[in-house]
Amino acid sequence: MKKHWIAAAFVACLLLTGCGAAEHTEDETTGSAVQANTEQPVSKEIFAMDTYMTITAYGENGQKAVDAAQQEIERLDALLSTGSADSEISALNASGTAQLSSDSAELVSCALEINESTGGAFDITVYPLMQAWGFTDESYRVPSDSELTTLMETIGSDQLDWDADNRTLTLGDGQAIDLGGIAKGYTSGRIMELFDECGVESGMVSLGGNVHVHGAKPDGSKWRIGIQDPENSEDIAGVLEVTDCAVITSGGYERYFEQDGTTYHHIIDPSTGKPADNGLTSVTIVSADGTLADGLSTALFVMGVDQATEYWRQHADEFDAVMITEDGTIFVTEGIADVFSSDRTFETIARK
Amino acid sequence: MKLKKQDTFFICGLLAGSLLFGSALALGRTDGETVVVRVSGEMVAEFSQNRDTVYRIEGVNGEINVLTIQDGEVWLEDANCPDQLCVHQGHIRHAGESIICLPHEVVIAIEGNTEVRSTLDIVAS
């Protein structure tokens, strides 16, 4: 009988110490940094496109893929940035007409398609409005109504003259464009192609919170992507479990300023010239197409939940969405309802 | 069924030992997560979250952010960046949280055992 006691004591010791040890190992792995072997991911932080980016790739070609991704980010940033006077887009805005590189041309084509399909809710010609509100250089101010009325005459992609065959874009009088609303989604899509070319089967990027995942995790499970709670940056509104797609969120909380007790955020409604005010606090788009996801996250935010729901029903094969309204209600489209989870209740939008 | 005196000592000793060892591990884990400072993606310093510290971070081009750690709270007290977003972001204290100063390419991250976020691969924001 006394042997049982001793055996029980041993088991107790093993359980107590074993448990602590296991958790400790977990600590060490979550704090892991750059290591180039097949089990550890290769990760890199990059500051580009006015934001903070992380790139992660698994497998023996991880380092090569991450390096290629960094080069691609820097190349596209130099091409597209409105903040740099030497970029192709700055040159276009200065001269009013330009023949574009294939990357810029593809972005312009995508932008015009999204503009048309969303009835103008996404528009690359809002750049002069972004400048007037100070969102381009953090010189925040509230433009007067008369200033906005004058500026609104220059807003609208219908004033652009796009010659797709010759990749030549001509702006209307007083117009300027910014491809920033889809540039990060396009870039993350390009990185997924580079991961493929490098033979990386598992990888992930976050370009300033715009997430794009490649394949599944190395153990074959789905990526778990949190969606930030728009009301509290420390909280998560829900979790998506997905593979091979972009998950891109737009929300008023990302960039804003306050004046005289009113908050003005950076998502400008092209139809009013003012921050979109249609009851949404964030829109997350899930799509295999990063460029589309990026553009639609803005467009659906501008539309508001009712119009966005109608739009999704017409394009349900192209994307899915998670929308959060000012009263905290979460709407999830049917296509991702079974891979979305949340502590809160949420409403599923059916295809009808 | 009757235990000899030395058996009782032996068992108590084992239990006490394992409890001590287990609690040492547990204490080691909660004895402050690690506050990591990175500039342009390179780690330049790390501190225990539980040790009060003031540290002057040299960001890109020698620009300055002042990191303060006090009573487990971590924040940027001062910075000479134009937007001051990093200073206005306020305090962080949970593993998985970070403060980023884009102009200076500075990232302050609390690394260690996280709760909700530990099960996540990334957050879309």
Judged by CB atoms closer than 8 Å, whether chains meet at A2 and B3 is answered as: yes
Count of beta carbons in the 10 Å neighbourhood of residue A147: 13
Nearest-CA neighbor of A119 among A169, A158, A80?
Answer: A158
Judge residue B93's burial from the number of C-beta atoms within 10 Å of its C-beta, 0-12 exposed, 13-18 middle, 19 or more buried.
Answer: middle
Superfamily of chain region A83-170: ApbE-like superfamily (1.10.3980.10)
8 A C-beta contact, residue B122 and residue A204: yes
Confidence band of B113 (pLDDT split at 50, 70, 90): low
Q: State yes or no: pLDDT of A135 exceeds 80.
A: yes
Mutation pick from A26, A30, A225 vs chain B, by most beta carbons of B within 10 Å, is A30
Mutation pick from A13, A23, A213, A245 vs chain B, by most beta carbons of B within 10 Å, is A13
Length of chain B in terms of residues written: 125
Mutation pick from A3, A10, A11, A16 vs chain B, by most beta carbons of B within 10 Å, is A16
Mutation pick from B7, B9, B46, B125 vs chain A, by most beta carbons of A within 10 Å, is B125
- Taking contacts as CB-CB distances below 8 angstroms, the residues of chain A near B21 are 16-17, 20
Q: What is the pLDDT of residues A4-14, one digit of tens each?
A: 554 554 444 44
Q: Flag whether residue A155 sits within 8 Å of chain B, measured between CB atoms.
A: no
Q: What is the pLDDT of residues A176-220, one digit of tens each?
A: 999 999 999 999 999 999 999 999 999 999 999 999 999 999 999
Q: State yes or no: pLDDT of B93 exceeds 90.
A: no
Q: What is the pLDDT of residues A61-76, one digit of tens each?
A: 999 999 999 999 999 9
- Taking contacts as CB-CB distances below 8 angstroms, the residues of chain A near B17 are 13
B interface with A, Cβ–Cβ < 8 A, is 1, 3-4, 7, 10-11, 14-15, 17-19, 21-22, 25-26, 28-29, 34, 38, 40-41, 43, 82-83, 94, 97, 100, 102, 105, 107, 111-114, 116-125
- Taking contacts as CB-CB distances below 8 angstroms, the residues of chain B near A140 are none
Judged by CB atoms closer than 8 Å, whether chains meet at B102 and A20 is answered as: no
Q: What is the pLDDT of residue A138?
A: 86
- Taking contacts as CB-CB distances below 8 angstroms, the residues of chain A near B34 are 31
Judged by CB atoms closer than 8 Å, whether chains meet at B3 and A225 is answered as: no
DSSP letters for A170-223: EPPTT----THHHHHHHHHHHHHHHHHHTT--SEEEEETTEEEEES--TTSPPE
| Three-state SS at A252 | helix
First to last CA, chain B: 63
Amino acid at B121: D
What integer best gives the mean pLDDT of chain B?
82
Judged by CB atoms closer than 8 Å, whether chains meet at B125 and A228 is answered as: yes
- Taking contacts as CB-CB distances below 8 angstroms, the residues of chain B near A249 are 124-125
Q: Which residue has tokens 């903040």?
A: A83
Q: How many angstroms separate the CA atoms of A8 and A27, rounded?
A: 29
User: What contacts B24, CB < 8 A, 6 or more positions away?
Assistant: none
- Taking contacts as CB-CB distances below 8 angstroms, the residues of chain B near A47 are 40-41, 102, 105
Q: Which ipTM was obtained for this model?
A: 0.75
Domain A222-349, architecture per CATH: Roll (3.10)
Q: Flag whether residue A43 sits within 8 Å of chain B, measured between CB atoms.
A: no
**What six digits make up the tokens of A152?**
């609104």
Q: State yes or no: pLDDT of B5 exceeds 80.
A: no
- Taking contacts as CB-CB distances below 8 angstroms, the residues of chain A near B26 are 20
What are the extents of the domains in chain A?
A: 83-170, 222-349
Q: State yes or no: pLDDT of A60 exceeds 50.
A: yes
- Taking contacts as CB-CB distances below 8 angstroms, the residues of chain A near B103 are none
Confidence band of A37 (pLDDT split at 50, 70, 90): very low
Confidence band of B33 (pLDDT split at 50, 70, 90): confident
Confidence band of A80 (pLDDT split at 50, 70, 90): very high
Q: What is the pLDDT of residues A240-287, one digit of tens each?
A: 999 999 999 999 998 899 999 999 999 999 999 999 999 999 999 999
Confidence band of A39 (pLDDT split at 50, 70, 90): low
Judged by CB atoms closer than 8 Å, whether chains meet at B124 and A26 is answered as: no
Q: Flag whether residue A249 sits within 8 Å of chain B, measured between CB atoms.
A: yes
Instruction: Kindly state the average pLDDT of the residues A65-90.
Output: 96
Judged by CB atoms within 8 Å, which residues 176-205 of A form the interface with B? 204
What are the extents of the domains in chain B?
A: 1-31, 32-119
Q: State yes or no: pLDDT of A18 exceeds 60.
A: no
Q: How many angstroms separate the CA atoms of B99 and B72, rounded?
A: 15
Q: What percent of chain A has pLDDT over 90?
A: 85
A:B CB pairs within 8 Å: 128
Superfamily of chain region B32-119: N-utilization substance G protein NusG, insert domain (2.60.320.10)
Judged by CB atoms within 8 Å, which residues 277-306 of A form the interface with B? 284
DSSP letters for A104-167: HHHHHHHHHHHHHHTTTSS-GGGHHHHHHTTTTTT------HHHHHHHHTT--GGG-EEETTTT
Q: What percent of chain A has pLDDT over 70?
A: 89
- Taking contacts as CB-CB distances below 8 angstroms, the residues of chain A near B1 are 1-2
What integer best gives the mean pLDDT of chain A?
90
